[in-house]
């Protein structure tokens, strides 16, 4: 399982344990992976949570927006491949839903106990609308867990290039991507070997991608927007994530303690994605 998936699912287990203290235990759990991409987190969640809750009835849904990769056929082929190949007996046609980013999420009010996302918030153009939809589809007492990079990050996680996401113009962005790629820093070598990219192709692809599809914000801005939508908002489990790295642990388990670790999240945000919990 991907490291980030194991971390997010450990956060999910920890938060469910807390919710059950207030909401009661044993009921079916409905979880939404928003911005589910190729479905990898959904697949891992189904296996890990089913095993943990021993057939209690965990339903996992996915949501994607048309404007991003989800508008392309290959995206769907990959998503179907991930889910139907691993879970051929499930009907995914109802579980994975798509809408335009300007529309409401295609789910009823109060449908979910929990919303999660991995590497999505930095791709959301209208984060106010996103949090409003999150609030609408969550039950009272429900919560969301988001794992995402912020603008404080020294390295753009997409291209692997330092400061790649900081440049304001395409020219600066292109220059930056080219210089670091020539120095052997970032993902260019990987793209060259695996996809046959020239340096120009790599630079052009990422200049376009960063301009069109990324909307990096500070951690503080994301926290403020979540609070404005009515969520009690906490940076949590960031210390637990760092411990996981040190231990090279890939298992899923409920983290103990749920202390806020905003101070640590601020440090971590320079180097890696951070985890934020929004409680309705
Ligand atoms: C880097 S991908 C991450 C995909 C997946 N979560 C993963 O971990 O592999 C970012 C995803 O965010 C989605 N996205 C962008 N804007 C969104 C929005 N407003 N609401 C939900 N998802 C969105 C994109 O379509 C894309 O699939």
Q: How many angstroms separate the CA atoms of 64 and 71, rounded? A: 9
Per-residue confidence at 23, pLDDT binned at 50, 70, 90? low
β 112-118/96-99 pair status: unpaired
Per-residue confidence at 221, pLDDT binned at 50, 70, 90? very high
- pLDDT for residue 93 is more than 80: yes
Region 132-145 average pLDDT: 96
Q: What is the pLDDT at residue 54?
A: 76
Cα(70) to ligand 1 centroid in Å equals 9
Instruction: State the CB neighbour count (10 A cutoff) for residue 102.
Output: 11
* Closest residue to atom 22 of ligand 1, CA basis: 35
Region 98-120 average pLDDT: 95
pTM: 0.94
Q: What percent of the chain has pLDDT over 70?
A: 95
- Poorest-pLDDT segment among 63-77, 104-118, 212-226: 63-77
Q: Are 15 and 256 in contact (CB under 8 A)?
A: no
List 60's β-bridge partners, or say none.
Answer: 31
Q: What is the pLDDT at residue 92?
A: 85
- pLDDT for residue 18 is more than 70: yes
| pLDDT digit string, tens, across residues 72-90 | 667 777 888 888 888 888 8
User: Which segments within 151-240 are labelled E, that is strand?
Assistant: 232-235
- Residue 70 is classified by DSSP as G
Using most ligand atoms within 8 A of CB, pick from 45, 68, 121 the residue to mutate for ligand 1: 68
- pLDDT for residue 70 is more than 60: no
CATH class assigned to 3-151+216-279: alpha beta
Q: What is the pLDDT at residue 152?
A: 96
Q: Where are the domains of the chain?
A: 3-151+216-279, 170-213
User: Ligand 1 pocket: which residues have CB below 6 Å?
Assistant: 34-38, 40-41, 64-65, 68-70, 101, 118-120, 123-124, 130
């Amino acid at each position: 399982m991907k490291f980030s998936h194991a971390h997010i699912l450990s956060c999910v287990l920890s938060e469910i344990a807390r919710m059950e203290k207030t909401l009661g235990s044993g009921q079916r759990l409905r979880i939404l992976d928003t911005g589910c991409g190729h479905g990898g987190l959904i697949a891992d969640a189904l296996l890990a949570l089913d095993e943990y809750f021993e057939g209690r009835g965990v339903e996992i849904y996915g949501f994607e927006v048309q404007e991003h990769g989800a508008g392309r056929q290959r995206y769907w082929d990959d998503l179907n491949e991930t889910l139907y190949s691993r879970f051929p007996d499930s009907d995914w046609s109802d579980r994975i839903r798509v809408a335009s980013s300007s529309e409401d999420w295609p789910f009823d009010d109060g449908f979910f106990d929990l919303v999660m996302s991995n590497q999505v918030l930095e791709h959301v153009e209208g984060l106010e609308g996103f949090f409003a939809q999150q609030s609408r589809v969550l039950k009272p007492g429900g919560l969301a867990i988001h794992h995402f990079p912020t603008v404080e990050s020294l390295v753009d996680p997409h291209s692997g290039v330092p400061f790649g996401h900081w440049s304001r113009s395409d020219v600066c962005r292109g220059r930056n991507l080219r210089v670091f790629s020539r120095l052997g820093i970032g993902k260019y070598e990987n793209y060259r070997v695996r996809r046959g990219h020239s340096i120009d192709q790599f630079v052009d692809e990422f200049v376009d991608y960063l301009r069109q599809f990324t909307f990096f914000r500070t951690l503080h801005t994301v926290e403020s927007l979540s609070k404005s939508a009515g969520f009690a908002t906490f940076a949590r489990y960031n210390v637990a994530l760092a411990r996981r790295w040190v231990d090279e642990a890939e298992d899923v388990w409920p983290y103990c303690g749920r202390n806020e670790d905003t101070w640590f999240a601020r440090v971590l945000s320079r180097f890696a994605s951070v985890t934020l919990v929004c409680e309705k």
